[in-house]
Chain A
Amino acid sequence: MQTLRLTHAAPVRYALAFAGLSTLAMGALLAVIYWSVISLLERHLDIAIEQQQLALRNQFSNDGRDAMLGLLNQYLGDGGGLQHYLVQDRSGQVLGGDLSSIEPSLGWLDVTISSTGSGTDIRSYDLRARSDYFDEDTYVLVALDTSELAETSNMILWSFGFTLAATIAISLAGGVAIGSALLRRVQTASDAARAIMDGDLSQRIPVAGNDDEIDRLADSLNQMLARIEELMENVRHVTSDIAHDLRTPLGRLRQRLEAARLKERAAGEYEEVIDSAIADTDAVLKTFDAMLRIAQIESGGVRSRFARVDISDIADNVAEIFRPVAEDDGKGLVTDIETGIRVHGDRELLTQLLANLIENALRHTPQGTTVGVGLRMDPVGPCLVVSDDGRGIPEEERHQVLRRFYRLDASRTTPGSGLGLSLVAAVTKLHGAELSMQDNAPGLRVTIRFSRDIEQSTRDPRGATLGAGVGTTRSIGGQRLTRREARIRAHGRESGGHSMPARIEGGCD
């Protein structure tokens, strides 16, 4: 197992960035608040100073300097130690107040002035002050102690600092907590993936069950894993099937060659042995060819060659080709093929699909069987049916016969590669069609439903023409016939001598 470094894990990186950003924002907010509070307090201080100075100036101009000094002393008494005053004359002589003389300057001042008195009584104050000459010889300075303001400001800074620190701590801790929770889930997925790579294909990524993005991701991955497992299972099957199926003819070939070598023979006999050896080899090669072809079809590359092909024509043609084969075999082949049906596909492969289905029906049925080929346009799309009234396939085995090399016990002895229906299945899938097998009571009925071609939609299901000019004629024996006539004619000619097995006429269900 691999340990993920926290700082390298994406969720933790995001948490760190988030903590940084929220700290920055919080810091800016606190700075604004601090600045507003402090300037408001300072403004209040200034207003108080201005009011006192105004009152003192009024007293001075109304009742003279002594009265003003009296008011000043009264203020000093009430001030609680926060208010400080200085009155001095031109020469710097202190006339009143509790501060020692300074070099006079006018207007607003932030100064540090020491108190009057001597020895240990002398204190020094940080002051906010406003000063003016009330007359040429009276310099008056009104001041307030700013130490309280400084204390308040300190307190605000402290609490703001604490808030900021808490913000950083919480967002970091939260980020790391969320991040490591995510990491744990990613880690479990990664562990599951590793177990799968080590060969345990049944492993799945655990789903937490809260239907979030990660669950959905796990779900998709699990579906993908299920598909992979299925494919691997197929590959395993096919590999062992190939081994089995090719071992048999190769073993037989070896036996024959060895037997021929055991004793002296005439040249003609050797030739015979060689001929049969070549035939055996050809059979093996044929199986390989069929496998390669199926693989190529399944890869889907052929789709680029798709064109609109007349599947009615193909069905007609292939049925005609196999009719004599069926007759020579003591079987019948009847058709009910609606003309002019087109699908988007590959002519060569559709021909082979139909040939395989017909051959399959011919090879696995007893004499006297009738094989039916039906094609019609259903509302949902073209539907191709190949049916017989032979032994049929037991329901539980119907799905299996599409597998490569699968053969029913009953047909083990008949020649064939066991690949015919696999190819049919592959071609069907390539064309986006659906294959199903039903009981034909008796016999087997294979149905292939194609999806509806857009251009086909101008016609109704039974082949009557709604849209004019959509391939309404076809030629039989050099004569031009309407489609319906052609269909009746073809049918009339083709079904002679044999009756349709049940449910061929019906086409798809």
Chain B
Amino acid sequence: MSCAVMFRPENAMKILVIEDDVETAAYIANGMNEHGHAVDMAATGRDGLFMATAGPYDLMIVDRMLPELDGLSIVKTIRDSGVKTPVLFLTALGGIDDRVSGLDAGGDDYLVKPFAFSELLARVHALGRRPPMAAAETVLRTEDLEMDLLKRTVTRHGRKVDLQPREFRLLEYLMRHAGQVVTRTMLLEHVWDFHFDPHTNVVETHMSRLRAKMDKPFDTQLLHTVRGAGYSLHGAEEASCKR
């Protein structure tokens, strides 16, 4: 598992967890510590808001339902005061509206309880290491794989790879999160706009098609399946820590 995360000291984050359920908070904190992140915890909305405004954090994990001050209000407040720290909402509400209202309040991602830790970790990494949104970025590169966002073309090792529009979107998402683990759910939400879990192997099918086009014909494998977690696009040096 630790290999899937590809922990590097420069990636260690300082995370604030605002969660009133002691067991869930401990579960998150232990897991994050294990993966090299420092975690501060707040059990009430008021404490959470205080800590969020006081110290700089790389990321915040905020429960929606909190005593004293709810998660939505905390995030609204800190966003109003100019804090741009990425926020991941946790909620027991699996509602259709809840996701939208969470994102509207200034949250960056949303996870419904109960969740798999690997899912949380993948999302935390995706948020925390979000590259500064360079508007000028028109070419994505991973090893010898190159994607031109303007011309909508993909080349690997100088050879053109023909992709359908949806395959292009899938690869773009993977390349933007190169070196990280992306879960099935993240792909479903961001690539296909599916906010539910299909019963058929949609993700697997599309992945194997993409792999057949951009990996199979070449010597080294870039697209890896991370067992029990998801997928990861990365080069040879990370591949060495396969289980």
Give A residues with C-beta under 8 Å from B: 275, 278, 282, 285-286, 289, 292-293, 296-297, 301-302, 305, 317, 320-322, 324-325, 328, 346-349, 351-352, 355, 359, 362-363, 415-416, 420, 477-478
Contacts and interface: CB of A to CB of B under 8 A. Distances in A.
Nearest to B95: A296
Given A286-B197, A362-B200, A420-B199, A321 B192 contact: yes
A296 B96 contact: yes
Interface in B69-125: 94-97, 100, 112, 114, 116
5 contacts: A285-B114, A321-B206, A328-B205, A355-B196, A359-B198
Contacts of B205: 324-325, 328
B196 A346 contact: no
Contacts of A322: 200, 202
Nearest to B227: A275
Contacts of B199: 359, 363, 415-416, 420
Contacts of B116: 278, 282
B96 A346 contact: yes
Given A297-B96, A355-B196, 7 more contacts: A286-B197, A305-B96, A321-B194, A328-B205, A349-B96, A351-B195, A352-B194
Which of B96, B193, B228 gathers most chain A CB within 10 Å? B96
B167 to A, nearest CB: 10
A324 B114 contact: no
Interface residues of B, number: 27
A320 B166 contact: yes
A355 B199 CA distance: 9
Nearest to B193: A351
A356 to B, nearest CB: 8
Nearest to A279: B228
A352 B192 CA distance: 11
A293 B199 CA distance: 15
B201 interface: yes
B182 to A, nearest CB: 17
B141 interface: no
Which of B112, B165, B199 gathers most chain A CB within 10 Å? B199
A438 B228 CA distance: 41
A289 B94 contact: yes
B97 A302 contact: yes
B97 A301 contact: yes
* Residues of B contacting A: mostly: loop
Contacts of B195: 348, 351-352
Interface string B171-200: 000000000000000000000111111111
Given A348-B195, A352-B196, A305 B209 contact: no
A321 B166 contact: yes
Given A301-B97, A305-B97, A363 B200 contact: yes
A88 B23 CA distance: 127
Contacts of B112: 289
Contacts of A347: 193
Contacts of B96: 293, 296-297, 302, 305, 346, 348-349
A266 to B, nearest CB: 16
A355 B194 contact: yes
B228 to A, nearest CB: 7
Contacts, number: 68
B193 A293 contact: no
A102 to B, nearest CB: 105
A359 B200 contact: yes
Kindly list the 6 A-B residue pairs having the minimum CB-CB distance in the complex, ordered from nearest: A325-B205, A324-B205, A352-B196, A359-B200, A348-B195, A325-B200
Contacts of A285: 114
Contact of A321 (B100, B114, B202): B202
Contacts of A362: 200
Given A289-B94, A346-B96, A348-B195, A325 B228 contact: no
B166 A292 contact: no
A289 B209 CA distance: 30
Which of B165, B205, B209 gathers most chain A CB within 10 Å? B205
A259 to B, nearest CB: 22
A297 B97 CA distance: 10
Nearest to A360: B199
A292 B165 CA distance: 34
Interface in B26-79: none
A477 B164 CA distance: 9
B193 A275 contact: no
A57 to B, nearest CB: 109
Nearest to B112: A289
A37 to B, nearest CB: 82
Interface in B111-170: 112, 114, 116, 152, 165-166
Nearest to B100: A305
A417 B107 CA distance: 32
Contact of A324 (B94, B197, B209, B228): B209
A439 B199 CA distance: 25
Nearest to A347: B193
B165 A477 contact: yes
A46 B194 CA distance: 108
A359 B199 CA distance: 7
A328 to B, nearest CB: 5
A70 B220 CA distance: 161
Nearest to A321: B192
A305 to B, nearest CB: 7
A415 B198 CA distance: 12
Contacts of B209: 324
Contacts of A289: 94, 112, 197
A472 B41 CA distance: 55
Contacts of B95: 296
Nearest to B208: A328
Contacts of B200: 322, 325, 359, 362-363
Contact of A293 (B94, B165, B198): B94
A420 B198 CA distance: 10
Nearest to A349: B96
Contacts of A325: 200-202, 205
A328 B202 CA distance: 10
Which of B94, B206, B209 gathers most chain A CB within 10 Å? B94
B189 to A, nearest CB: 10
Which of A292, A355, A362, A478 gathers most chain B CB within 10 Å? A355
Contacts of B208: 328
Contacts of B196: 293, 348, 352, 355
B116 to A, nearest CB: 8
A325 B152 CA distance: 25
Contacts of B165: 477
